[in-house]
Amino acid sequence: MPIGKMLMAAGAFLFVVGLLFTLGARLGLGQLPGDIATRRGNTSFYFPVVTSIVLSIVLTIVLNLVMRFWR
């Protein structure tokens, strides 16, 4: 039975991640000022610097709140 619970947890996690990607695209994440995007010929390079910083701050706050209430 533990494998079934792990699979359900993994499915729920993937659902939440997909939902966050969908909502993030609508909120403009990935296109913030400061994100690096370069195109030269047939090659393109994209590095979301500011988006990574914003997501890091938000996840840090959320996880700290979750851990505080979990104890």
Alpha carbon separation from 18 to 24, 35, 48 (Å, rounded): 10, 22, 18
Average confidence score pLDDT of the chain: 88
For residues 66 and 52, membership in a common domain is answered with yes
Cα-only R_g, the chain: 17
Collapsing DSSP to helix, strand or coil, 37 comes out as: strand
Q: pLDDT tier at 1 (50, 70, 90 boundaries)?
A: low
Q: What is the pLDDT of residues 16-44, one digit of tens each?
A: 888 888 888 888 877 889 899 999 999 99
Domain that holds residue 23: 1-30
Dmax (CA) for the chain in angstroms is 54
Can you tell me the distance from the alpha carbon of 40 to that of 3, in angstroms, rounded to the nearest whole number? 47
For residues 5 and 35, membership in a common domain is answered with no
**Whether the predicted model's global pTM rises above the 0.85 cut:** no
Q: pLDDT tier at 57 (50, 70, 90 boundaries)?
A: very high
**What is the number of domains present in the chain?**
2
For residues 38 and 58, membership in a common domain is answered with yes
**Which stretches within 1-71 are classed as H helix?**
2-27, 49-70
